[in-house]
Amino acid sequence: MQRAVVLLSGGLDSATTLAIARSEGRECHCLTVDYGQRHRVEIDAAARVAAALGAAGQRVVRLDLAQFGGSALTDPGIAVPQAPTPGIPVTYVPARNTVFLSLALGWAEVLGAHDLVIGVNALDYSGYPDCRPEYVAAFEQLASLATARGVQGERFHIHAPLQHMTKAQIIRRGIDLGLDYGLTHSCYDPGADGQPCGRCDSCILRAAGFVEAGVADPIAVPAPSPRT
């Protein structure tokens, strides 16, 4: 089996990515980053998903990106928008995917893996710079220049199987592969009980995806009501 390092946040997209990588027969080593995100509850989801999908292993790397701030996901002083916003959302975490892919690359080199798998997709594409195909291609090029294995002529590949899929297509693919989306967590701004807010970008994209896919989301999302 070909070894791969799979970035696994615990969200819908990365869980589907892992399901796809497993269906391709890969030995998947999952990397989850505890980076100070306000939706830390996703880390528990990542562990559940890794176990359910038969990952060969999972590591949780702690890295306090909150000390830099600059994002609604890491700075409690920046509110998570309760509706989609034009341009790059304030939930963008500066250089996050570059940090994540770098960590995955380091681990891959130690594992002797040449494949890195990341769940960036076309819907994110419109907002986050580090989800675009040209970004992924640039990182792939960097990876071979950055590493001892690269210098020795080996090549790393960054797989982004969701890149050109809509959220509904992603969900249908996951369901076809038997993925239980009840294990996943998407909300950027969950309550103290870990329940999704139903209002943030991520909740809205997820809900719309399930509607378009024509299936029910196994996670019960409460109907949005004005916050007091």
Neighbours of 93 (CB within 10 A): 24
Residue 23 or 102: the one with the smaller Cβ distance to a copy of itself is 102
Query: For residues 148-177, which are near a copy of itself according to CB under 8 A?
Result: 148, 150-151
Site string for a copy of itself, 77-106 (x = CB under 8 A): -----------x---xxxxxxxx-xxx-xx
User: Least distance from C-beta 212 to a copy of itself, angstroms?
Assistant: 27
User: Least distance from C-beta 91 to a copy of itself, angstroms?
Assistant: 11
70 binds a copy of itself (CB under 8 A): yes
Interaxial angle between packed helices 133-146 and 96-111, expressed in degrees from 0 to 180 and rounded to the nearest 10: 40
138 binds a copy of itself (CB under 8 A): yes
Interface contacts to a copy of itself, rule CB under 8 A: 59, 61-65, 67-70, 88, 92-99, 101-103, 105-107, 109-110, 129-130, 132, 134-135, 138-139, 141-143, 145-148, 150-151
